[in-house]
């Protein structure tokens, strides 16, 4: 059987696109293995999705002036050796790297063995690990038409692979335990949640609807995915608000199928899902994101007319006004159209095409 290895890990934004691509390649008859950090989130997700997985050590790069911690350097070296041994044995025709420190051992090991490598850059600015692998990579599939730091000749626009599934709105609302009448706002801080959004959004929305004279029980409801660690912190903030439902984790297909508006970070995974489902999004970029990529992502979405950018430093001042603006029917309709124009539908297939073009039997 023809084999492909997808090197990924670290965050859902790196892992779920690999899962979507793996499923597409499997439909085409390829044997696919996800390669990532042993014990990382990617190992759990691969098991849930019934995908083959091989785990290696992975050292995390530091962007401080002190450079790479020697202990992390040792882990990275061990991971590279483990990945080389695995790739020698499996002999894949191509290795696809999805960025993030956990993907680097597999990609660099493949390149050291002379195997073809294709990269997927999910952000609007080329990340550190992708820059390290760029010189010997065949091509880079991108999620944005322009990627800062990436020569256009090296890029192929493919989009951000997502789960291309959806539910009827009524079915999604029932699955989530929500009402059918009110407009639904989704608050999501990424696969692990966001402390900043958890601490600010409930109070801002409570005050906003009160001062605006709205009656959320009848017209608006909120579904807030807090992240597993933070549910107990958010619940006391909203325990007296029948229209505000915090949950530790939510099925993304159901959540996006039900949402009319979303408040999120600006990771490309969430923004791609918002586009696929045509949901306007208010983005609060993570200030500490690597290479400041979330701000680049948010600007690209805002310039496309599909969202509004609110800086974290000014979230208490600006978020309420952005929500009120996006609740206007005309504004929301315009943003929905712009979001759908950015839909990544077919991205997994296009990235699989790119991998096939560089597959070496």
Which residues line the annotated binding site?
Answer: 11-13, 123, 163, 191, 294
Nearest C-alpha neighbor of 150 from the set 293, 286, 303: 293
Neighbours of 139 (CB within 10 A): 19
Alpha-carbon gap, residue 17 to 195, rounded angstroms: 24
Alpha-carbon gap, residue 94 to 361, rounded angstroms: 9
Binding-site residues for UDP-N-acetyl-alpha-D-glucosamine sit at 11-13, 123, 163, 191, 294
Neighbours of 341 (CB within 10 A): 12
DSSP 281-294: EEE---TTSGGGHH
CB 268 within 8 A of CB 127: no
With a CB cutoff of 8 Å and minimum separation 6, the contacts of 202 are 224, 234, 237, 238, 241, 244, 246
Q: Find the helix or strand (DSSP H, E) in which 332 lies.
A: helix 329-341
Q: Find the helix or strand (DSSP H, E) in which 256 lies.
A: helix 252-258
């Amino acid at each position: 059987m023809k084999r492909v290895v997808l090197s990924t890990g670290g965050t859902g934004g790196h892992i779920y696109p690999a899962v979507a691509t793996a499923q597409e390649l499997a439909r085409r008859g390829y044997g696919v293995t996800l390669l990532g950090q042993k014990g990382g989130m990617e190992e759990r997700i691969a098991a849930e999705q019934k995908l083959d997985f091989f785990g290696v050590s992975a050292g995390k790069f530091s962007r401080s002036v002190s450079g790479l911690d020697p202990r992390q350097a040792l882990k990275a070296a061990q991971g590279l050796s483990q990945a080389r041994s695995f790739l020698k044995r499996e002999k894949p025709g191509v290795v696809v790297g999805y960025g993030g420190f956990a993907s680097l051992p597999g990609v660099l090991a493949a390149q050291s063995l002379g195997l073809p490598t294709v990269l997927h850059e999910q952000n609007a600015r080329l990340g550190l690990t992708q820059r390290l692998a760029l010189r010997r990579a065949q091509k880079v599939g991108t999620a944005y038409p322009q990627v800062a730091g990436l020569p256009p000749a090296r890029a192929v626009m493919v989009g951000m692979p997502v789960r291309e599934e959806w539910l009827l709105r009524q079915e999604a609302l029932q699955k989530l335990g929500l009402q059918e009448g009110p407009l639904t706002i989704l608050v999501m801080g990424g696969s692990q949640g966001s402390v900043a959004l958890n601490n600010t959004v409930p109070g801002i929305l409570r005050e906003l609807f009160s001062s605006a004279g709205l009656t959320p029980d009848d017209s608006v409801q909120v579904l807030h995915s807090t992240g597993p660690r933070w549910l107990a912190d958010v619940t006391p903030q909203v325990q007296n608000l029948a229209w505000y439902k915090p949950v530790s984790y939510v099925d993304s297909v159901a959540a996006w199928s039900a949402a009319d508006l979303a408040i999120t970070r600006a990771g490309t995974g969430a923004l791609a899902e918002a586009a696929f489902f045509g949901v306007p999004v208010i983005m609060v970029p993570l200030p500490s994101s690597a290479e400041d990529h979330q701000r680049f992502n948010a600007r690209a979405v805002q310039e496309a007319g599909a969202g509004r950018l609110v800086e974290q430093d000014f979230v208490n001042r600006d978020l309420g006004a952005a929500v009120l603006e996006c609740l206007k029917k005309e504004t929301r309709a315009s943003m929905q159209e712009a979001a759908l124009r950015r839909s990544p539908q077919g991205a997994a297939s296009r990235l699989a095409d790119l991998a096939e073009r560089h597959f070496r039997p």
